[in-house]
Amino acid sequence: MENLLEQIKGYKEEIAATQQNGAAALETFRIRFLGTKGIVKTLFAEMKNVPAEEKKAFGAILNEFKQFAEDKYEQWKAGLESTEVESGTAFDYTLPGDPAPMGSRHPISLVKNDIIAIFRRLGFSVAEGPEIEDDFHNFTALNLPEHHPARDMQDTFYLHQNPDWLLRTHTSNVQVREMEKGKLPIRVICPGRVYRNETISARAHCFFHQVEGLYIDEHVSFADLKQTLYFFVQELFGNNIRIRFRPSYFPFTEPSAEMDISCLLCHGKGCNVCKHTGWVEILGCGMVHPQVLENCGIDSNKYTGFAFGMGIERIAMLKYQINDLRLFSENDIRFLQQFTGSF
């Protein structure tokens, strides 16, 4: 006990003599005297070795020592804080917080969601399917004969492991899979990423996004196709839009057409965007070829249907006046930030 009292006396002298300089020294002081393995705790642990008749007196001395160390600590801390406030180095808790940067949807997603919302109102559901596809679902079922140029190695990415597998060149594979399910009628739109082996430029990329649509039932006509697509572009671009159809050719539709809308920028007067024609091509469409229906197990004598396809990038470029396809996939924050606040 004598020995312990000597130690405490020494520590008290040390504490009294400690210079109160700086936050780091204060922390060292706290750990040395008041920490979980500090001197105060260690001395309290000695209590078990003190004879029973002296425990009370020793306890009082220990408590007084603990208070002495704590007082020194509190006084030192308060002194530090007031110096920080006076010198302006204290943290000002009333400052507004750092702004949390708001993300935004990618313009491709914005346009895709707009398109989906419009067709949902017409009773279309949304279907998705594989991006790695077999030859049948991407080509054969769609009436693309074996030596059709679209099958050429230059347009299609084939998989090294198996030449029957490829990266889909359109989302039509999803409609083929819907038709194979055999549940009619079908009213579906298929958004998704597609791949083509093209040299990358402002107008072409090795991948882009499409929305394709398919409607199959008894008595579906070209008039249904025209009215559906007219409604669609009115919803997307406004009621003043005008449309025209030009005859075209696709192996999977007959007859086939391309649909133009009146130029959004010059309203048909002629400008750079519409190459001075007043019209801008927006999508391809047609009546599903009877052979395609049969390829997918649907009776072409009973059922007819229309289909259409559009590139989402193309529509986004028109809508937001974007002039380079590569901007969509470069992840340049200056480009993406322009869409903040849109949903």
- In the complex, the residues that contact ligand 2U9 under the rule CB under 6 A are 142, 170, 172, 175-176, 210, 212, 214, 250, 252-253, 283-286, 288, 292, 307-311
When the beta carbons of 15 and 285 are compared against ligand 2U9, the nearer one is 285
State the Cα–Cα distance between residues 41 and 66, nearest whole angstrom.
9
Minimum separation from the CB atom of position 284 to ligand 2U9 (A): 2
Q: What is the CA radius of gyration of the chain?
A: 38
Minimum separation from the CB atom of position 333 to ligand 2U9 (A): 28
> Judging by beta carbons within 10 Å of its beta carbon (0-12, 13-18, 19+), is residue 238 exposed, middle or buried?
exposed
> Judging by beta carbons within 10 Å of its beta carbon (0-12, 13-18, 19+), is residue 219 exposed, middle or buried?
exposed
When the beta carbons of 168 and 170 are compared against ligand 2U9, the nearer one is 170
Minimum separation from the CB atom of position 94 to ligand 2U9 (A): 55
Whether the Cβ atoms of residue 11 and residue 5 lie closer than 8 Å to each other: no
When the beta carbons of 72 and 289 are compared against ligand 2U9, the nearer one is 289
Sign of dihedral through CA atoms 272, 273, 278, 283? Answer: positive
When the beta carbons of 50 and 322 are compared against ligand 2U9, the nearer one is 322
In the chain, what are the helix, strand and coil shares in percent, each to the nearest 5?
45, 20, 35
Minimum separation from the CB atom of position 161 to ligand 2U9 (A): 27
Q: How many CA atoms lie within 13 A of 132 on its CB side?
A: 8
Whether the Cβ atoms of residue 216 and residue 298 lie closer than 8 Å to each other: yes
Q: Which H or E element spans position 284? A: strand 279-288
Residue nearest to ligand 2U9 (CB): 284
Known binding-site residue numbers? 254
When the beta carbons of 7 and 248 are compared against ligand 2U9, the nearer one is 248
Minimum separation from the CB atom of position 289 to ligand 2U9 (A): 7
Whether the Cβ atoms of residue 242 and residue 261 lie closer than 8 Å to each other: yes
Residue 140 gets which letter from DSSP?
G
Minimum separation from the CB atom of position 123 to ligand 2U9 (A): 18
- For 95, 156, 303, the CA distances from 192, given in Å and listed in that order, are 46, 17, 27
Known binding-site residue numbers for Mg(2+)? 254
When the beta carbons of 142 and 316 are compared against ligand 2U9, the nearer one is 142
